[in-house]
């Protein structure tokens, strides 16, 4: 497989959230606004990229029997780094994402890529793979965040985009928890109808 397709595969064709249906918890919980969705996506991409690189570097010296605990330890190291980094430099975003930042450690998407790809492939391919899957995740969360923020709040990145009439009565339902389930359900249905 050439290098470009390693990267693009994770973006849409094997998109973690909408096609493989993994990493649903953060996707639904943090896609209330574009900023939250994008921030969560980038945090997960960072963890995925660096854990893939380190695991791929160490793939020949990790004993097969204890590989899962070692993967989890490596992943949790990077989760702790991004956790403290966001706490220090993006306190507002950190407060909005809440418990979902430390919970990146149990995102099956990251352990899944470590097990299925990084533990068997070269460092460069693993980095590309991690970046592709991570950006696919970011893309999904940003799109969901945009739909929910525009229709549910009448804003995009905090700027008002609809007139006064809409501002007073937006579809508040969409930024509340039920809206997350509805938006991802409709997106998945559209994907089923037009992409296959």
Does position 20 interact with another protein (CB under 8 A)? The reply is no
Give CA–CA dist 31/33, Å, rounded: 5
Q: Report CA-CA distances (Å) from 71 to 6, 23, 67, 84, 151.
A: 21, 17, 6, 20, 40
Does position 159 interact with another protein (CB under 8 A)? The reply is no
CB of 14 to another protein, least distance (A): 16
Site for another protein in 63-122 (CB under 8 A): 69, 72-73, 76-77, 79-80, 83-84, 98-99, 102-103, 105-108, 111
Binding range to another protein, per CB under 8 A, among 19-27, 88-96, 124-132, 154-162: 19-27
39 and 153 Cβ atoms separated by less than 8 Å: no
Q: Report CA-CA distances (Å) from 75 to 49, 52, 111, 147.
A: 10, 9, 8, 31
105 and 124 Cβ atoms separated by less than 8 Å: no
Binding positions for another protein, rule: CB under 8 A: 21-22, 24-26, 28-29, 69, 72-73, 76-77, 79-80, 83-84, 98-99, 102-103, 105-108, 111, 173, 176-182, 184-186, 188-190, 192-193
């Amino acid at each position: 497989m050439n290098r470009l397709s390693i990267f693009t595969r994770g973006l849409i064709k094997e998109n973690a959230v909408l096609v493989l249906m993994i990493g649903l918890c953060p996707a639904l919980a943090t896609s209330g606004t574009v900023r939250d969705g994008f921030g969560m996506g980038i945090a997960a991409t960072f963890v995925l990229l660096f854990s893939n690189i380190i695991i791929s570097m160490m793939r020949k010296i990790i004993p097969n029997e204890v590989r899962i605990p070692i993967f989890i330890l490596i992943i949790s190291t990077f989760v702790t780094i991004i956790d403290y980094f966001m706490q220090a430099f993006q306190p507002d975003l950190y407060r909005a994402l809440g418990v979902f930042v430390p919970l990146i450690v149990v995102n099956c998407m990251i352990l899944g890529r470590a097990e299925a790809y990084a533990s068997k492939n070269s460092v460069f391919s693993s980095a590309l793979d991690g970046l592709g899957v991570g950006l696919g995740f970011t893309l999904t969360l940003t799109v969901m965040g945009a739909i929910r923020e525009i229709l549910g709040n009448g804003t995009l990145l905090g700027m008002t985009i609809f007139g006064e009439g809409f501002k007073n009565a937006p579809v508040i339902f969409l930024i509340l928890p039920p809206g997350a389930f509805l938006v991802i359900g409709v997106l998945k249905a559209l994907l089923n109808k037009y992409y296959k």
